[in-house]
Chain A
């Protein structure tokens, strides 16, 4: 199965908003509302930030929001903070009853 496509890097200044895209197909993102987003700091395990396209687990800041349009999902980080600097991965359920991750996006806070 092919990885979902994300931009390699996205950057923004503190306080700004940034959006990370995650492109898939009708067999994954487009076909199901089971898209998740993970944040990963260096040498740390990933942290679930968004699930089911737009839901936030308890404890995750409301500055993080998710959406989907067609075969593309997006993660928006509002009020960018230095602590948001990390790698971000999307993930989706697929028609093969499996899961696939995105290629990953490095977020830099300028």
Chain B
């Protein structure tokens, strides 16, 4: 059974860079045509699609989030990552990584990792 698991710092200071990693187990990140996704949820708020990345490095991103978010993939480690530059309190959220059934319909989810931005 495929599993994905987020890892990250938990606490990051305002204006710094947040780095998150999603580790894939039970399957290869390079298999098929999946775009692996990042979704976040601010405390008490709804889900927000951040973007997705193919093992080739091709990405699709939420235009509302502009250029502070960068995704990358490391096929040798079966991982993909998210970096958020110049974080603010608005970036405080639970960050999820996920894999779709085939595209956009996220079936496999990590448990989520809470990131708090401190001033």
Map CB proximity to B onto A1-45 as digits: 1 under 8 Å, 0 otherwise: 101000000000000000000000000000000101010100001
Q: Is the CB of B103 within 8 A of A34?
A: yes
For A46, the chain B residues whose CB sits under 8 A away are 39, 47, 96, 106, 109
Q: Is the CB of B64 within 8 A of A1?
A: yes
A-B contact count (CB 8 A): 63
Binds A, one of B16-24, B26-34, B55-63, B77-85: B55-63
Q: Is the CB of A100 within 8 A of B49?
A: yes
Among A78-110, those with CB < 8 Å from B are 89, 91, 93, 96-104
Q: How far is the CA of A103 from the CA of B48 in the complex (A)?
A: 9
For B8, the chain A residues whose CB sits under 8 A away are none
Q: How far is the CB of B111 from chain A (nearest CB, A)?
A: 6
Among B87-119, those with CB < 8 Å from A are 96, 101, 103-107, 109-112
Using A36-B104, A89-B47, A101-B47 as known contacts, say yes or no to A45 and B60 having CB atoms under 8 A apart.
no
Q: How far is the CA of A47 from the CA of B103 in the complex (A)?
A: 15
Q: How far is the CB of B116 from chain A (nearest CB, A)?
A: 16
Among B34-59, those with CB < 8 Å from A are 37, 39, 46-49, 51-52
Q: How far is the CB of A65 from chain B (nearest CB, A)?
A: 16
**Residue of B whose beta carbon sits closest to that of A97:** B60
Q: Is the CB of A98 within 8 A of B96?
A: no
Q: What is the interface of chain B, defined by CB distance below 8 A to chain A?
A: 37, 39, 46-49, 51-52, 60-64, 96, 101, 103-107, 109-112
